[in-house]
Structure 1
Amino acid sequence: MELYTNLRAGERGAWLSIITYIILSAMKLIIGYIGMSAALKADGLNNTTDIIASIAVLIGLKISQKPPDSDHQYGHLRAETVASLIASFIMMVVGLQVLTTSIKGIFNPVHETPSLLTAIVAIVSAVIMYAVYRYNLALANKIKSSAVRAAAYDNRSDALVSIGTAIGIFGAIFGYPIIDTLTALIVGIIIIKTAIEIFWEAVHTLTDGFNLEETETLKKLISNVDEVIVLEDLKGRTHGNMSFIDVTVTVNPNLNVIESHRITEKIEATVKRFNPYCTVLVHIEPHEISTPVEDDYHF
């Protein structure tokens, strides 16, 4: 099945992120310690959480490829969502740790100027993470993977964090060491913000939330299908990259079973053109034709 082939292809993006984060986090933590930069160390710690998040995505992609069984008749596609939820908790803990350390640094400042090497490392890291972001975004668009796209946006935010880190370090080098600590504080806030966003997205999916814009688009497309008289109801839920749609429409009550079935096929084909990774369950009902009520009053 093409879906599972794409999930396997998505593993490349996860592996690229993992390897990149391992190298960059080690480099930032070591250089940040040697070069006396709190911001670079905070950025390196941020990348360690990204390793965990990328591993969670990788595990989720692998589990999602398991076929349906007696206990999971819709498959295991939500495994990557559960993994994202776990990763958000880990990121939150680390973000709070960075935030706490930074606040302590503001009240107990260390008057040490970070070395120029730490700024260079931050800039190089930003360039590398932007390249990884572009690769994963292209891969996500190619295989239509929301998990890989989320990883790509995480790569982009890390590139921005590294740019901010470089700015903070340069500020400290030019005689304003508090900027380095304040930048570490901002990095902590960014980690927490990203964790909250991942958490809410995962919870929204796991509680069967569905995109309102996609719902409205599907309603318009289905309502315009030939021989559909009224779209009575449409419900949707998401399992990984798959969407499951339940539709109730009314049709001419005089149609036979074969003719009604052809309408369901038209609806399925219409939805598939809009979203290839979508399973549609169509319920057909006869359209009630109102009949005029005879006047009971006689003159």
Structure 2
Amino acid sequence: MEDRFKKASFATWLGIIANAVLAVMKGITGWLSGSRALIADAAHSASDVVGSIAVLAGLKTAQKPPDKDHPYGHGKAENIATIIVAILLVVVGIEIAISSAGAFFGGVTRAPGMMALVVIIFSLIVKECLYHYKYRLAKKINSSALMAEAWHHRSDSISSMAALVGIGGAMAGQASGLPILFYLDPLAGIVVSLLVIRVGIKLAKESSQIMLEQVLSDEETKPMAEAVQKVDGVIRVDELLARTHGHYMIVDIKVSVEPSITVEDGHTISKQVKKCLTKEFQSIQNVFVHINPYRTDDDRKVVDINDQKTIQERA
């Protein structure tokens, strides 16, 4: 757990420093060159800094062990951080759209200079490197907050690409004597805003589903049911519900056993079920097992591990 936090923390601090430097570079260059697209991109990088700080706080909270008030742990702190990042993306996207749209009414009299082009290319390279680094790390340590950060970097790359096209087009317009092409720069700013808003909504939707206790699909839990079915004493898996808590999962499972066994035997089977799941699936942190007496005439909802569906079994 500690090693996981150190890796995620290092990656987050790396992003904070890189984004702070890029935000200042793009902001100053955008202001001096009059590039709406570059200023919009600077705002995007600045939002990354704020988002990364929220992620850092979420990661630190998520590593805390379960306590009396939080028996399931603090894993969802990562999802809260993800939602904060998503909200920031949407807000920044709207601000970028308003600023860029205003350029069409105020008029664009010149194209950005060469420095704007150099800065945006540099930003594109840095952001892509950060995206690939954090994406791989997030997959390795199963961190939704770090994954959100990775996609935040990728959205920055896409917005930088749009800004690159806009700035390059505006410069081409100045070189060819076609001032109409100057408007490609603010147009790129609007495209950037739409991309940023889209990523923000997607991240917010995914994390909100986890916060609302959405369980994994039957297909995702099928391997778990198959593993439990092999435990000695388990006759049938009646129900298996798995939900995500940040980087780990909590499982609630009901299994049927021989009705004539002792309470102690039932307890032993319960412990074996829990041991089986936590050993075979590293992402599972805790398992709550309910023992049912097996009845051949039961009319109950059970897990069918053969066709991956939850069906009604009628003996």
TM-score (norm 1): 0.87
Give, as a single letter, the amino acid of the residue that structure 2 aligns with 1:79: A
Closer, same or farther in 2 for the Cα pair 1:219/1:168, shift >3 Å? farther
Alignment of 1:217-228 (within 5 A): 217-223=223-229, 225=231, 227-228=233-234
Give, as a single letter, the amino acid of the residue that structure 2 aligns with 1:274: F
After the TM superposition, which of the residue ranges 51-60 and 203-212 deviates more from structure 2? 203-212
Instruction: Report the Cα distance in structure 2 between the residues aligned to 1:60 and 1:124, rounded to whole angstroms.
Output: 30
Partner residue in 2 for 1:282: 289
2:122 maps to 1:102: no
Partner residue in 2 for 1:189: 194
| 1:71 to partner: Cα distance | 2.2
Partner residue in 1 for 2:82: 84
What SS does the aligned partner of 1:61 have? helix
Partner residue in 1 for 2:170: 172
Closer, same or farther in 2 for the Cα pair 1:280/1:185, shift >3 Å? same
| Structure 2 residue corresponding to 1:210, chosen from 204, 212, 215 | 215
Closer, same or farther in 2 for the Cα pair 1:103/1:225, shift >3 Å? farther
Contact 2:78 2:144 in 1 (8 A): no
Structure 2's unaligned 5+ residue stretches are 174-180, 299-315
Contact 1:120 1:166 in 2 (8 A): no
Structure 1's unaligned 5+ residue stretches are 292-299
What SS does the aligned partner of 2:104 have? helix
What SS does the aligned partner of 2:290 have? strand
| 1:142 to partner: Cα distance | 3.1
Closer, same or farther in 2 for the Cα pair 1:13/1:44, shift >3 Å? same
After the TM superposition, which of the residue ranges 282-291 and 199-208 deviates more from structure 2? 282-291
Alignment of 1:31-42 (within 5 A): 31-42=29-40
The CA deviation string for residues 49-99 of structure 1, in whole angstroms up to 9 with x for no partner, is 111111100011112223333322223222222232233333322211111
2:248 maps to 1:242: yes
Alignment of 1:91-170 (within 5 A): 91-170=89-168
| 1:165 to partner: Cα distance | 1.5
The CA deviation string for residues 121-147 of structure 1, in whole angstroms up to 9 with x for no partner, is 111111111111222123223323222
TM-score (norm 2): 0.83
**Identity across matched positions, percent:** 34
Q: How many residues align?
A: 289
Contact 1:7 1:145 in 2 (8 A): no
Instruction: Report the Cα distance in structure 2 between the residues aligned to 1:126 and 1:262, rounded to whole angstroms.
Output: 57
After the TM superposition, which of the residue ranges 100-109 and 118-127 deviates more from structure 2? 100-109
Instruction: Report the Cα distance in structure 2 between the residues aligned to 1:282 and 1:137, rounded to whole angstroms.
Output: 34
Partner residue in 1 for 2:203: 198
Alignment of 1:44-83 (within 5 A): 44-83=42-81
After the TM superposition, which of the residue ranges 221-230 and 178-187 deviates more from structure 2? 221-230
Give, as a single letter, the amino acid of the residue that structure 1 aligns with 2:7: A
Partner residue in 2 for 1:43: 41
| 1:8 to partner: Cα distance | 3.3
Partner residue in 1 for 2:304: none
| Structure 2 residue corresponding to 1:233, chosen from 235, 239, 242 | 239
Question: What root-mean-square deviation, in Å, do the aligned CA atoms of Structure 1 and Structure 2 show?
Answer: 2.3
After the TM superposition, which of the residue ranges 272-281 and 198-207 deviates more from structure 2? 272-281
Contact 2:158 2:192 in 1 (8 A): no
